[in-house]
Structure 1
Amino acid sequence: MAVPWAASLEQKVKDLDLQIRGLRLTEERAEAAEGQLETMEKEVSSLQQRLAQVVTDRDNVKNDLDASFARLNRVKSRLRDSRKAEKKAQKLVLISEDRGFTAGFEEVIRKAHAAGIDHKLLLEEGMEDPIGRPEEPDVPPVVSSDPESEMSD
């Protein structure tokens, strides 16, 4: 016959063996979970770096776009101003042609300057200088003080 306390001791040993196996399985699961956690942490770190790069790229594109729009607006403004000046010049040319130059070249120049237009624009538009002035009035004519040089010509 078996001793009753031995049977209970065997039962306790079996229970402890089951608990040890359960602890080992739990330990293996914990190690696997730690490995998965490390992998996930690496993925999160990689995604954070990628997100930072995307944000930087977005900001760069936004800055480039803002600069392009500013440049476009400046070009549009200059184009609008030049068209306005061209229309004024054409209008003055038409007015001067309609009057048959009765107002005189000086009057046309005065009106051009009053309208904020350089009178040379009128000359470029086809209006001729009726007085026959040189293109650059700031350049004085060359006069020789040597009477011998005039004689030799």
Structure 2
Amino acid sequence: MEKTVDIKDQAGTEELAARLAAVAQVGDVILMHGTLGMGKSAFCRAYIRALAQNPHEEVPSPTFTLVQIYDLVPVPVWHFDLYRLSDPEEVHELDIEDAFSEAVSLIEWPDRLDYLTPEAHLDIYIEPGSNADARQIRLVASGESWQQRIAGLNGNVA
């Protein structure tokens, strides 16, 4: 299942992230695709803040730490940035298997996972939109649970 959403601005990205956070489940794996500056980290921050129900939640980028862990209720979130990794074997050092089974995993630069990518996951592709602030976000669901939840997303976002 695939769905494309046209986003007008940052608020639209935040709204879409909040909609996805509202249906979060332990074991969710969300793979964030897009070039530098497309808004992968902004989407992840908005997702975490929505799940925390705190628009001021501090959400630092895991660029240098590689992973940030948020012990949230009802589901914890592990935010990974794999940009600096060169081999999928390095991912094991981040205890990613624990995240896959115990939390929501938000993963930037998921191409570094290679064969470790779980079968059930949601790919989010962020591409330029019609103006500098706009984005086109394509959601590609793999696995029955993700397909049902993506099919349930209705309407456009700002």
Q: TM-score, normalised by structure 2?
A: 0.22
Higher helix proportion: 1
Higher strand proportion: 2
Which structure exhibits the higher relative contact order, with contacts defined as CA atoms closer than 8 Å and separated by 6 or more residues? 2
Q: TM-score, normalised by structure 1?
A: 0.23
For the pair shown, the structure with the greater C-alpha radius of gyration is 1
